[in-house]
Structure 1
Amino acid sequence: MASSLKNLSTHSEKNLIDISQKRFAILVSEWNEEVTEALYHGALQSLLEHGAKESHIISQTVPGSYELSLGAQWMAQRDDVDAVICLGCVIQGETRHFDFICDAVAHGITQVSLKYNKPVIFGVLTPNTQQQALDRAGGKWGNKGDEAALTAIKMLGLQQNLK
């Protein structure tokens, strides 16, 4: 759904579980830092508001969105991490670089999630402009970081309900 039709910080309460004992890793791309830091703060705040303990949240940076996949793999392989949240921003440019990076990151994050059977969340913005990114990182369309954190919680809820 286009974010112009839905605020990214709005969510349903379905599959929200007690996460007080869950452990999360948040990986944040350093590239487009103004945007990714806002995404990080949204994700962190959402986890804390929904009951995560600050001591159960590991936060690390990676140089760019491309590196999120390997960083996610290193975090997902840890026994003390229940879910990984990947946050980044790749803004459309004049070359096909955007397409290659976005495709690689989406594919890589998906593969890590399947390999480790854990939620590994794609919280990567792929806007056309810097303003669109800011609008989705705490601006008029909410915060994709909030959405990524809630997706992690809901996937852990689904996993728990299926056991």
Structure 2
Amino acid sequence: MATSLKSLSDFSHIEVPSAEAYKFGIIVSQWNAAVTGALYEGAYSSLLKHGALEENITTIKVPGSFELTSGADILLGSKNLDAVICLGCVIQGETPHFGFICNAVANGVTKVSIKHTKPVIFGVLTTDNLQQALDRAGGKHGNKGEEAAVTAIMMAGIKPSLNL
């Protein structure tokens, strides 16, 4: 859990393999654009930093976090990718809508991953307020977009390491 003293986007304790051999998709929600734009920049730049080629990264935008699941399904159905990163931000409001959306997206991402037998990474912030989201999109708690990209790289390497 992130605290005011810790950024969770520190990867100095793990070895991140090269992303050069892999193809990635990034699905980004347009809702809460200041946050999701920062998550996207973190993910995209992290993929490049770890060796991914620009031409091997496909990005599509969807209206909101709820649509991340169908965006990932469409992308995986149309392109041969090694992993997909879903980036979004849902901020708690005064109605139960928050819980329904968060639950649907988390379950949907899992189902798409299983359907396509490809890693689909949950890079969706589920926060109580905008400040918490900004803190996790390049603020004092790091950038969850970077974490999602590192996760995608590591997961993309699992099947090849098993010679499947």
| Shorter-chain TM-score tier | over 0.9
Q: Residue in 2 aligned with 1:3? A: 2
3-state SS of the aligned residue for 2:51? coil
Structure 1's unaligned 5+ residue stretches are: none
Give the whole-Å Cα distance in 2 for the aligned partners of 1:126 and 1:34. Answer: 15
Give 1:37-76 correspondences, 5 Å limit. Answer: 37-76=37-76
Give the whole-Å Cα distance in 2 for the aligned partners of 1:159 and 1:13. Answer: 19
Give 1:23-42 correspondences, 5 Å limit. Answer: 23-42=23-42
Give the whole-Å Cα distance in 2 for the aligned partners of 1:85 and 1:3. Answer: 21
**CA RMSD across the alignment:** 1.3
Q: Deviations for 1:41-99, whole angstroms, at most 9, x for unmatched residues? A: 00000000000001111111000000000000011223421110000000001110000
Equivalent AA in structure 2 for residue 3 of structure 1? A
1:13 is aligned to 2:14: yes
* Identical-residue share of aligned pairs (%): 57
Give the whole-Å Cα distance in 1 for the aligned partners of 2:45 and 2:9. Answer: 11
Closer/same/farther in 2, CA of residues 86 and 118 from structure 1, 3 Å limit = same
TM-score (norm 2): 0.93
Give 1:1-163 correspondences, 5 Å limit. Answer: 2-4=1-3, 6-11=6-11, 12-14=13-15, 16-163=16-163
3-state SS of the aligned residue for 2:157? helix
Q: By how many angstroms is 1:6 displaced?
A: 4.5
Number of residue pairs aligned between Structure 1 and Structure 2: 161
Give the whole-Å Cα distance in 1 for the aligned partners of 2:62 and 2:102. Answer: 16
Give the whole-Å Cα distance in 2 for the aligned partners of 1:100 and 1:73. Answer: 20
Equivalent AA in structure 1 for residue 55 of structure 2? S
Structure 2's unaligned 5+ residue stretches are: none
Give the whole-Å Cα distance in 1 for the aligned partners of 2:32 and 2:129. Answer: 11
Give the whole-Å Cα distance in 2 for the aligned partners of 1:157 and 1:32. Answer: 31
Given that residues 8 and 146 in structure 1 are in contact (C-alpha distance below 8 angstroms), is that contact kept between their aligned partners in structure 2? Answer: no
